[in-house]
Structure 1
Amino acid sequence: MQQQYIDINCDLGEGQTLADCDKDALLMPYLSRCNIACGKHAGNEQTMYQTLLHAKQHNILCGAHPGYADPDNFGRLSLAISIDEVVASVVAQTQHLAHIAASLEQKLVHIKLHGALYNDAEKSPELAGALCKAFTTQLPHLSIIGLADGAMQTAAQKHGLAFLREGFMDRAYLTNRQLAPRTLNGSVYTKSEQCIAQVLALVQQGALETLDGGTVSVQVDTLCLHGDSPIALDVAQALPNELAAVGFVIK
């Protein structure tokens, strides 16, 4: 069996305390990269610094995870602000995290939008285009992580930015290739077996059964595990052996 590699990313730094960061660090041995909250939808100066430090100790890649500045709703509700305001906020959040990373002689390598902002960019080619245009001039060295075959992928490619096609192991899809809204029953997986099955389907078949009864083809470069999921650690610990059994190594 020929060995193949798979990238696993995880949203981290979304707590408020050092204890939250220590809990996040338990996931890091099973990851290849992390997306660090930049203090607006979640996190703060302390958690950004500590998450970057832990990532350096575990030798995993780091990226920015900017979201809407709405901590009361964890960045999961759309805000009625202009595209220019969104772009300015995302760039500022990313630069803030990059500044903290530089103090640790650490560097950021990617950007992944959070929550409602991630979804809004996929629904709005105009927003996706404005973000990617800004990235080319202000953050050109960073790759973009976004939904496979979505609006951000199209915009990133148009502007010459490196792009990683993302799939999700702990969320259900719809036949329109979007993630099923969290308001739908069954949209968020609650059993590690569901997540493992989805990972294996993505890496072996590149196809998934959807929540609304169909199937979709999804080719991915990186798979996301949500760090705030109650089953995140169980899934992370099971993944290496499950992937190794079908010829994949996390890298």
Structure 2
Amino acid sequence: MEIDINCDLGEGSDLTSCERDALIMPFISRCNIACGAHAGTPAIMRRSLENALQNNLIIGAHPGYPDRENFGRKSIKVPLSELLNSIHEQIERLQNLTREAGTKLDHIKLHGALYNDVEANMDLAEEIIALLSREYPSLKIIGLANAAMEAVATKQSRIFYREGFIDRQYLNTGRLAPRSLPGSALSDIDNCLERAVALAKGSSFTSYHGTPLQFSVDTICLHGDNPEAVNIAQRLASYLQLNGLSIHS
């Protein structure tokens, strides 16, 4: 039984951060590269692409709110047309670099507060899916399992990967617990590994408030900026194997 593992990368402040990202790459299936709005620079994007190609990773775009000050993790009020233009410009920026590198994008995954806002807002999800369908009809979409983005993408017959999180807590509703809640981000390696197996097998795990949750996913995310990301990634493959699982290749 295989499971896809994705990681948000290219989010550091300089090229040194790309070398840390590269330590994660041998242990995942695909990466989502920041496109210069919430994080990333052209140099970081190029190096991230080079490292991803060396590790045979599937490559996707990771656009977010244009808010570097808050790392795209704060909801901001921006006119819809401006937001859609920003998402388009971000994806184009990375897509142009992938062409230069002789490769292509496979998927799109929104970042941070934009990811969360879309998952709770059907109207916003419809607007963004319409943009992606118009401009990038061949690219897959990654989003939270059982939320608005999935519903809209399915309705429009888009290929959608249901995502679960190895290092984040969930509310009883199945949405991600806000980062403002203490302990909402998991860094304990054993807990993260157990969560990965539960998500991959569609078995039960507990929410932030202790309620059992159970659903299936197509891909599991490990955040590249998790302080234990490298250690988690390095132990993940062997732990999955012990539980009858392997990382999609």
Match of 2:113 in 1: 116
CA shift digits 1:44-93 (9 cap, x unpaired): 00000110111011100000000001001000011101222222211111
Among 42, 45, 48, which residue is 1:48 paired with?
45
Matched, 1:158 2:150: no
Unmatched 5+ residue regions in structure 2?
none
Matched, 1:137 2:108: no
Say if 1:147 and 1:165, in contact at 8 Å, map to a contact too.
yes
Q: SS where residue 213 of structure 2 aligns?
A: strand
Among 226, 229, 232, which residue is 2:229 paired with?
232
Matched, 1:192 2:189: yes
Among 173, 176, 179, which residue is 1:176 paired with?
173
Say if 2:202 and 2:217, in contact at 8 Å, map to a contact too.
no
Structure 1 segments (4+ residues) deviating >4 Å: none
Q: SS where residue 102 of structure 2 aligns?
A: coil
Match of 1:245 in 2: 242
Match of 1:6 in 2: 3
Normalised by the length of structure 2, the TM-score is: 0.97
Distance of 1:84 and 1:208 partners within structure 2? 39
Distance of 2:5 and 2:87 partners within structure 1? 23
The RMSD of aligned alpha carbons is: 0.9
- CA deviation after TM superposition for structure 1 residue 10, in Å: 0.2
Match of 2:13 in 1: 16
Q: How many residues are paired up?
A: 248
Matched, 1:211 2:208: yes
Q: SS where residue 12 of structure 2 aligns?
A: coil
Bigger drift between 203-212 and 89-98 goes to 203-212
Unmatched 5+ residue regions in structure 1?
none
Identity of aligned residues (%): 45
Among 86, 91, 112, which residue is 1:89 paired with?
86
Matched, 1:149 2:146: yes
Distance of 1:212 and 1:87 partners within structure 2? 35
Normalised by the length of structure 1, the TM-score is: 0.97
CA shift digits 1:129-178 (9 cap, x unpaired): 00101111101111000000110001111222110000000001111110
Say if 1:167 and 1:218, in contact at 8 Å, map to a contact too.
no
Matched, 1:125 2:122: yes
